[in-house]
Structures are given as C-alpha cells and as structure tokens.
Amino acid sequence: MDIFFVNSNIFNNTEIEWIIQNFGNDYKSLKRLKEYALGRFVVKSIAENFYKKNNSDIAIKNKKPYFIDNNLHFSISHSNDIILAAFDSENIGADIEFMKKRNFEKIFDYYKLNPAKKDAETFYRFWTEYEAEIKLQEPPQSKLSVRILPDYMLSIASNHSFDIKRMLKIYELKRPTASTSPNELINLKLVNASKENENTVVIQEINTASLDFFEPLNLKTE
C-alpha cells in the first residue's frame, strides 16, 4: 500500500493551466476544478511512471473512480492545499483533512458521541475514518489513522485484513533542491508513539521524491 501527497502550491501557473487542460472536468468552481485535475494528474502519472501501467484511463462506477484496464486500486483525497492519492492491489479508501480549530464539544454533542477527549485529534480521526470507509464502499477489514505534516489527519481503510502499519509507505512529492537530486522513492518510517497503545503511530520521517519523477511536468513554454 502506497500513499503519495503533494502541496499544490509547488506548481506554477503554467503547470496548473496545463494540468487543468489535460486532466480537468466541467466544474464551474475553479477550486474544485483545480483539485479534480491535480488528483487525476497525480493518480495517472504515478500509475504510468511508478507502477508501469500502460493504460491509466479512469472511469466512474457507483461514484467511485477506477482504472478501466488494470488491477491497481486507488483513492483520491484533498484538503486545504494537499492533494493525496492512495494505491493498493485491493480496494482502498483514503481521506485527509486539515485540522482547523472548531467547537469540538458542540460537534461531538451533535453526533451524540462522548469520547474521552473532545479535541481536534479525536474529531478528525473520527471524521477521516468515516470518509475513508465511505470511499471504500464496503466494511473495512483494516484501518489506520495517523497525523501528518503536522496539522493533517490521514485515515486509510482496506477491504482485506493485514498490518497497515508495517505495509504502508508514504511519499511526499517535492521539487528537487538541486539538479543532481536523485529520483528515488524511499519508504516512510512509522513508529509506535506509545508502548501502551499499539494502535497509535506517529510520523518519524517523511522521505521525498523529486517531481522530476513526473514526465508530464517537463513542460516547455515558448
């Protein structure tokens, strides 16, 4: 299972326009159009360049996008400026949310929930798990929630039972800092935050991949 995310602010206006022209839809909202196009761009680029899939055409079934002619599963999520795509050999659901300040006491009362802590982390773990399960569209057999970036909550839901903590790999896509920057993708390290709670994990290190990895971004402007 692999997770890729990118901050949309790293793209310049020329690149955004090119991505929208090639991967956009008929959304009237520029924000929704940009999110949609960037999500499709990330998914199709990774499928072709990382997984070496020859056909990355996408269709929609029951409101869930899927590849028409290959067995790679994916799920797209976006929040604030982050675009995220999750990939697996089996059905997967992923959701990421920016953890902004809200009246969490009131929110939990509205949902008639009474957790031990009514704070941001508890709420966004609950909310992203809920959204990830909706995107999965079937009862999850494995789930994981983890805080990243550090103000985002990410949840993953899978339809098969396995240790997500050991199998999950997360990559952040960034521009190269130098022309000699290697185009290597390195696994994310997940560590237990507490020996008392084996289900709690924190990000110890996020490794990055150069955007040179994406051939479609090698744009030439006159």
Spatial distance between the Cα atoms of 204 and 160, rounded to a whole number of angstroms: 26
Averaged pLDDT of the chain = 80
Q: Confidence class of residue 187 from pLDDT cuts 50, 70 and 90?
A: very low
How large is the C-alpha radius of gyration of the chain? 18
Work out the pLDDT band at 116, boundaries 50, 70, 90: confident
What is the pLDDT at residue 60?
A: 93
Q: Average of pLDDT values for 105-134?
A: 89
Helix ranges, the chain (H): 13-23, 30-49, 104-110, 120-136, 164-167
Provide the CA 47 distance to its chain's centre, in angstroms. 14
CB atoms inside a 10 Å sphere around CB 64? 16
**DSSP label at 213?**
G
pLDDT for 92 beyond 60: yes
pLDDT for 34 beyond 80: yes
Among 8-17, 76-85, 136-145, 150-159, the minimum mean pLDDT is found in 8-17
Residue 73 pLDDT > 90: yes
pLDDT tens, residue by residue, 141-157: 999 998 888 789 999 99
Q: What are phi and psi of 4, to 5 degrees?
A: -120, 135
Taking 70 as the threshold, does the pLDDT of residue 203 lie above it? no
Please report the pLDDT score of residue 191 as a whole number.
39
**Residue 220: pLDDT above 50?**
no
Q: Which residue has the higher pLDDT, 107 or 207?
A: 107
**Nearest Cα residue to 132 out of 167, 100, 88:** 88
What per-residue confidence (pLDDT) applies to 188? 41
Rounded to an integer, the average pLDDT of 73-101 is 95
pLDDT, residue 173, reads: 80
Q: Which residue has the higher pLDDT, 75 or 220?
A: 75
Rounded to two decimals, the pTM is 0.81
pLDDT reported for residue 212: 52
